[in-house]
A = this chain, B = another copy of it.
Amino acid sequence: MSKIEPSWDYYRTFLMVLKEGSLSAAGRELGLTQPTVGRHVDAMEEMLGFPLFTRSPQGLLPTDAAQALRPYAETLAATSAALLRAASGQQDTVSGTVRISASEVVGIEVLPPILAELHAQYPDLTIELSASDAIEDILRQEAEIAVRMAAPSQDALVALHIGAVPLGFHAHRRYIERRGMPKTLADLSRHSLIGYDRETAAIRAIIARSPDLPEVRFALKADSNLAQLAAIRAGFGIGICQNALAARDPDILPVLADGFTMKLETWLVMHENLKTAPRCRVVFDALAKGLRAYIRQPEVATVQ
């Protein structure tokens, strides 16, 4: 039963050529030379029996067949990276690499202090932070731990409910002094509103739960919640952001705080298999503690 399977390395170079668009660039990225990369592609094409790229002097154009194979190659790459991370933590001590997936806002505004404290406690721990709104599938092992804004539906996942992150309209003090403070939701139509460009899953969930939201025209549309936050801080207008983030800056004022509230349920998600891995356990616990503290923060501020 010794059938000849092609080298798995071919898939790696194939994916890199797909990503980079040329043999030369893929070679640079992989630490190989251009002829070698070309030979890998040739070998793979011959073994599959159909062309993967149409060659041209300005690069390689992938065929439809190559595009169809891409997700498999990406899964291979993600899995082998996960294997290496898992191997990095196999020592007796808490060490190695843990990859965390979180939204841009959480990854940039919320997590850094939590991770800083964690790293001070475990210096041998390396954290990979995938600060992107793309839903990296934990099941695909693209990350060990994820901060999610929706309850995970999958089995075989450890999901810890952190709590509800309150959201609200906010604006910079400068903007309010210039344009006045709206008293009702209807007043918003006379203001510069900062909103989303594309509808994401989180936004749809909010809209579904808030039927009294007026139809608004946004003065600034940005897909990135981080850009929206920056616009609020710059005094561009009124936008939605996490109350806890706004409370950090005394110049960011809540707008219509009584009339309108939204909540983002937050979950911490991890592979069930990783429960026993010390490095993941430690990061998971630190994130749970840190995020819960972050959520409690605004309530304390309100009491003041």
- Asked if A2 is at the interface (CB within 8 A of a chain B CB), the reply is yes
A189 at the interface (CB under 8 A from B): no
Q: Does A90 contact B (CB under 8 A)?
A: yes
Q: Which 5 A-B pairs have the closest CB atoms?
A: A2-B31, A72-B83, A8-B8, A65-B90, A75-B79
Integer count of this chain's copies in the complex: 2
Contact with B along A1-36 (1 / 0, CB 8 A): 111110111011000000000000000111100000
* A139: chain B residues within 8 A (beta carbon): 139-140
Cα A115 to Cα B11 with chains together (Å)? 32
User: Which among A5, A86, A141, A277 has the highest number of chain B CB atoms within 10 Å?
Assistant: A5
Question: Which residues from chain B contact A28 at a C-beta distance below 8 Å?
Answer: 2
Are A69 and B86 touching (Cβ within 8 A)?
yes
User: Please, could you name 5 A-B residue pairs with CB atoms under 8 Å apart, sorted by A?
Assistant: A3-B31, A65-B90, A69-B83, A79-B79, A153-B155
- A141 / chain B contacts, CB cutoff of 8 Å: 72, 75
Q: Taking the complex as formed, is A303 at the interface, i.e. its CB lies under 8 A from any CB of chain B?
A: no
Q: How far is the CB of A145 from chain B (nearest CB, A)?
A: 16
- In the assembled complex, the CB of A243 is this many whole angstroms from the nearest CB of chain B, namely 30
Q: A76 contacts which chain B residues (CB < 8 A)? A: 8, 76, 79-80, 83
Does A186 make an interface contact (CB < 8 A)? no
Additional 7 contacts, C-beta under 8 A, given A64-B90, A72-B80, A76-B79: A2-B28, A2-B29, A2-B30, A2-B31, A4-B31, A5-B12, A76-B83
